[in-house]
Structure 1
Amino acid sequence: MAQFSQETSTTGAFVRQPNRFTARPEPEPGRYRLVVSLACPWAHRAVIVRKLLGLEDDISLAVVDPIRDEKGWRFQGTDPVLGIDYLKEAYDKADGSYEGRVTVPALVDTTTGEVVTNDYPQITLDFSLKWRPESTLYPEHLREEIDAWIEPIFHHVNNGVYKAGFATSQEAYEQAYTALFTGLDRIEEHLTDHTYLVGEQLTEADIRLWTTLVRFDAVYHGHFKCNRNKLTEMPNLWAYAKRLFAQFGDTVDWDHIKRHYYVTHHGINPTGIVPAGPDPEVWTR
């Protein structure tokens, strides 16, 4: 947990660092490269939105190795477009004084080699707002309702699992644990008579929730001690998660997900042993 030591409060609560690079570049096909880890839920949703909006030819994709070392995210060999071995090099080029954690997703300008934005909440919104303004993932008439879901999902679910997993006090852990399952229970109830979170159509809110759900049983349930129950034991959420898996489950890399969490977080799993289960085939049954 050394990488996260600066993100722990005096009460033992995990406090995620703010995003340093927040530019919102105008669309210019071919200029920007999206750097992601397939293990990271924040990056995963950028991969999904890029795919759903048909931006693969406009924004190139670079995938880092799932094992993050003391230098941060490394490419699997020198990146052929950016010509760098570590994402940190693009961060340093943009701001040589930056001392925070190097995060993904990051949009890098291929003409300068600099990180333009690591503002993960805004990256996917801008894919809809700027690159594909006709997108139905964040339509204007549903934005207020989408935003009303996004905010609590981020605090209690997306970031909530990290608050539980990286807590260094019992009190901070139990607060995060309670908020997480209160949030999941609320969504479970909502899905009793709704197919999606908003407007009976797939939106940004669903994608943000789903990248946490798809990792829940494989990682968060055990590794982050979010173990009141498994996702498969919440019938509405499980059916919902499987419906979305049928739409973009091909973006999931179980090997990257499991190796990253269980091998990288030495403070939580010092042996580095990666669990054999659960069986990923359960998602397609």
Structure 2
Amino acid sequence: MTLLPAVPDGPGGEHSALRPLYEASAHRYAGAAVAPVLSDDWSGRIVSTHAPDIMRDLARRFGGERPPLYPKGMEAEIEAVGHLCEQGINATAQRAGRADADDAERDSALGSLLRTLRSLEGRLARQDYLLGDRLTAADIELWVSLVQLDTVHRWHLDASAVHRVADHPALWAYARRLAGDPAFGAHLDLDGIARRHHAHCRGLEAAGAAVQIVEWAAHAPDRTASRQG
């Protein structure tokens, strides 16, 4: 596994370290060499660049004796959660904080975001995990979206909007509980998230930047020593 820099070093979000793979996989490839990539070491070519497929393949082939993240019969539900996170949380939160949108557009997007969070709140008030009593890939999808909502999108929402986002106690208690699990919290790279955000974001900072929902730093590893070393 190759760990890439938090901020791409080329135009269009490109990672220069991935360009040989793209060029070996497509004749005269002219696009950006972007992550993620699953490649075959033997051929030096790309197998997949689709994150959900990569996650599924890795979980099934290298999951070992651990409970499966993609239990048989739950694939459609997990895929639906992925779509919900992408469209109902990530996309709507981004639209709700757009500086070039008018008030009506931002209010509409915020309303969609809150409806999504409310539906998730209802589920997690009744059960420990999103799809029942065991952890699945759906929980990973949701947790990543919640981290992004609080560490990135919150910076472009007004304080009132962030308080409304935070007013889902079961949802954010679930986020904190997973963050306390080393399988989740140990992979929090808050500095990397911040650097990617500042490198690509052109929006204006809003009052919501001061209203943090989860103290993620309490669960993230201290990466200072590794960077200094």
TM-score relative to the length of structure 2: 0.74
- Whole-Å Cα distance in 2 between the matches of residues 117 and 167 of structure 1? 35
Q: Tell me the amino acid that sits aligned with residue 259 of structure 1.
A: R
Q: Is the 8 A contact 1:67 1:73 kept in 2?
A: no
1:18-69 CA-partner distances (Å, limit 9, x unpaired): xxxxxxxxxxxxxxxxxxxxxxxxxxxxxxxxxxxxxxxxxxx212222224
Cα deviation for residue 106 of structure 1 reads 1.1
1:242 to 176, 179, 184: 176
Cα deviation for residue 224 of structure 1 reads 6.8
Cα deviation for residue 97 of structure 1 reads 4.7
| Relative contact order higher in (CA < 8 Å, ≥ 6 apart) | 1
Q: Secondary structure at the match of 1:116?
A: strand
Taking a change above 3 Å as real, the CA distance of residues 164 and 129 of structure 1, as seen in their structure-2 partners, is farther
Taking a change above 3 Å as real, the CA distance of residues 174 and 112 of structure 1, as seen in their structure-2 partners, is farther
Cα deviation for residue 142 of structure 1 reads 3.1
Q: Secondary structure at the match of 2:2?
A: strand
Taking a change above 3 Å as real, the CA distance of residues 227 and 97 of structure 1, as seen in their structure-2 partners, is farther
Cα deviation for residue 234 of structure 1 reads 2.5
Could you say what the CA RMSD is over the residues aligned between the two structures, in angstroms? 3.3
Q: Is the 8 A contact 1:67 1:264 kept in 2?
A: no
**2:127 alignment counterpart:** 194
**1:137 alignment counterpart:** 69
Q: Is the 8 A contact 2:186 2:219 kept in 1?
A: no
1:194-229 CA-partner distances (Å, limit 9, x unpaired): 111112111111100101112322211114779722
1:154 is aligned to 2:86: yes
1:113 to 44, 47, 56: 44
**1:179 alignment counterpart:** 112
Q: Is the 8 A contact 1:157 1:212 kept in 2?
A: yes
Q: How many residues align?
A: 209
**2:224 alignment counterpart:** none
Unaligned ranges ≥5, structure 1: 1-60, 75-84
Q: How does 1:204-219 map to 2 (within 5 A)?
A: 204-219=137-152
1:252 is aligned to 2:192: no
- Whole-Å Cα distance in 1 between the matches of residues 93 and 55 of structure 2? 21
Identity of aligned residues (%): 29
**1:27 alignment counterpart:** none
Greater share of helix residues, 1 or 2?
Answer: 2
- Whole-Å Cα distance in 2 between the matches of residues 240 and 210 of structure 1? 9
Q: Tell me the amino acid that sits aligned with residue 236 of structure 1.
A: A
Q: Tell me the amino acid that sits aligned with residue 268 of structure 1.
A: G
Unaligned ranges ≥5, structure 2: 221-229
Q: Is the 8 A contact 2:98 2:156 kept in 1?
A: no
Q: Is the 8 A contact 2:81 2:142 kept in 1?
A: no
- Whole-Å Cα distance in 2 between the matches of residues 167 and 126 of structure 1? 39
- Whole-Å Cα distance in 2 between the matches of residues 283 and 141 of structure 1? 33
